[in-house]
Structure 1
């Protein structure tokens, strides 16, 4: 019997857009982008099993070689796509559908409601763990409402950023530190 695997499906374009538009209000600088190695480490630690990171990205005729090589060095399998329409969404949807037939767990790194049908199908298998990774306040409500799905905050749980982001979040009183505000 083989060891169970977590598939980490990364919609890098969605995370970058959400970080830029919704969190920072501008294009993120390189040092403000997530540390993608932290994401793989978090997934391995959270579910105590090997992780296969698939990083989906839309490209034109030229491969962003530096970025792709960096992803590979971090342990991801880069999935550069081109074509008409939302190629990253289409590829992630197809991958999630293919994973339905495998005894594997799945973490989706995106805020996009386009993945609701596939994540609902994956989460409906009782022995499968499913998770979402991103910023809860920008996560599609339909994704958050899927029964049994876990949520992992990219900043607070994964620690994927080197500096604190300018986010407004609900704070449990037991975690409240007035020194953060004065």
Structure 2
């Protein structure tokens, strides 16, 4: 009799780099981020690997319609991400469509945890389906910029993880205004 060895669980880390970059530049910094102000994607992957069971499969979605950012692609490969450079001749949001299709495919497989790095409410239907089907699902980003559609899924089990505060994905503190718990408030920080 042959013993059946259970397959190792997989956590899929899907990164919407466009969304994070736009939010960082437009909403947090109010300017184009300098290279040293961008997230350290290796820290994001390490955090997900350390806090989820089984193997972590990092998928980084890129819009390669205009050009292929080869230097960045090589850096992603070195950090053990699978770059997904998508292109289209139409005007679709290639990164969003690629992530939506991937979330649907994971749901159809019936297994796997999902960590999505994005603020975008366009992924709400796919994440809702994953949650309804019993998947563990988390969203990583800046909490204050998370779309209302995604925020509404917290009542259904969605975990929200802050890119800066919980993952520590940046080398220097970002100029963010956030709610401070009164118990931890230290006035010396502000005077």
Query: TM class, shorter-chain normalised?
Result: over 0.9
Matching residue of 1:86: 93
Q: Deviation at 1:69?
A: 0.2
Looking at structure 1, the residues matched to 45 and 54 of structure 2 have their Cα atoms a distance apart, in angstroms, of 11
Deviates more, 1:26-35 or 1:42-51: 42-51
Q: TM-score, normalised by structure 1?
A: 0.96
Greater than 4 Å deviation, 4+ residue runs: none
The correspondence for 1:120, drawn from 128, 135, 158, is: 128
1:157 aligns with 2:157: no
Q: Confirm or deny that 1:108 pairs with 2:116.
A: yes
What is the Cα deviation at residue 49 of structure 1? Answer: 2.9
The one of 45, 50, 61 equivalent to 2:50 is 45
Counterpart contact for 2:11–2:53, Cα < 8 Å: no
Bigger radius of gyration? 2
**Deviation for aligned residue 1:59:** 1.3
| 2:120/2:147 contact within 8 Å kept | yes
Residue equivalent to 1:17: 22
Aligned length: 181
Provide the aligned C-alpha RMSD in A: 1.1
Change (3 A) 1:70 1:125: same
What are the ranges of 5 or more consecutive residues in structure 2 without an aligned counterpart?
1-5
Structure 1 unpaired stretches of 5+: none
- TM (normalized to structure 2)? 0.91
- Tell me the CA shift for residue 148 of structure 1: 0.3
Q: 2:151 matched to 1:140?
A: no
Match of 1:172 among 173, 181, 186: 181
Give yes or no for contact 2:9–2:53 (8 Å, CA) kept in 1. no
Aligned-pair distance for 1:60? 2.9
How much has 1:174 moved relative to structure 2?
2.6
- Specify which of 29, 32, 35 is matched with residue 34 of structure 2: 29
Q: Residues 175 and 47 (structure 1 numbering): CA distance in 2 closer, same or farther, change over 3 Å?
A: farther
1:100 match: secondary structure: helix
